[in-house]
């Protein structure tokens, strides 16, 4: 995956990264990340998921004002049960990002790392991204933000 070649330096405010320690083996966490029925339970309903690099699929949330609810994705990397990376694109004019999950076996189970990158505003993506961000979180934002301090 090559970063956009526009010659400018990538800004600091461009990616989110997280780590969680989960008391479950990587194989089990991998299933939760890749089985459509399980994905629907914790993330979003998914359509057309095939674990083949280049394969397109989509997450489909209920439509909301200002957003049709669809996240268009494309598989970029699959290394069962260690690494899964896919493009996360919201609309043609909005958000073009990449989500990468890395599963590392640890004594207590699995360290799950998530990096969501590519939040740089770009040509054609000027206004929609912000609108989408607000729409997606809806009224629960304050509550959720309070929860993670």
Partner 1 sequence: MQAVVDEVFRALSDPTRRAIFEHLAREGEQSVRALTDRAGVSQPTVSKHLGVLKQARLVRDRPEGRQTYYRADRDGLAPLIDWMKHYAAFWAEHIDRLERLLEKME
The CA distance from 11 to 33, in Å, is 29
Give the nearest distance from C-beta 50 to partner 1 in angstroms: 21
Cβ closer to partner 1: 57 or 101?
Answer: 101
For the chain, give the number of residues.
149
Give the nearest distance from C-beta 122 to partner 1 in angstroms: 7
| Cβ count within 10 A of residue 24 | 14
Three-class SS state of 96: strand
Give the nearest distance from C-beta 129 to partner 1 in angstroms: 6
CB 24 within 8 A of CB 42: no
Cβ closer to partner 1: 75 or 128?
Answer: 128
The CA distance from 141 to 127, in Å, is 20
Cβ closer to partner 1: 105 or 121?
Answer: 121
Work out the angle at residue 63's Cα, subtended by the Cα atoms of residues 4 and 13, and round it to the nearest 5 degrees.
30
Give the nearest distance from C-beta 41 to partner 1 in angstroms: 5
* Alpha carbon 5 to chain centroid, angstroms: 22
Contact set with partner 1 (CB under 8 A) = 6-9, 11-13, 16, 18, 20, 22, 24, 28-29, 31-32, 38, 41-43, 112, 114, 116, 119-127, 129-131, 133-134, 136-137, 140-141, 144-145, 147-148
């Amino acid at each position: 995956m090559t970063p956009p070649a526009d010659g400018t330096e990538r800004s600091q405010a461009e990616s989110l990264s997280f780590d969680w320690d989960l008391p479950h083996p990587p194989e089990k966490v991998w299933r939760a990340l890749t089985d459509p029925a399980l994905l629907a339970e914790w993330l979003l309903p998914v359509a057309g998921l095939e674990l083949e690099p280049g394969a397109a699929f989509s997450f489909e949330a209920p439509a909301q004002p200002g957003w049709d609810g669809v996240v268009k994705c494309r598989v970029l990397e699959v290394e069962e049960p260690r690494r899964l990376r896919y493009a996360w694109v919201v609309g043609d004019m909005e958000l073009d990002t990449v989500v990468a999950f890395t599963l590392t076996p640890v004594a207590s189970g699995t360290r799950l790392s998530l990096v969501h990158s590519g939040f740089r505003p770009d040509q054609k993506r000027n206004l929609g991204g912000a609108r989408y961000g607000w729409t997606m979180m809806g009224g629960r934002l304050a509550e959720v933000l309070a929860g993670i301090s």
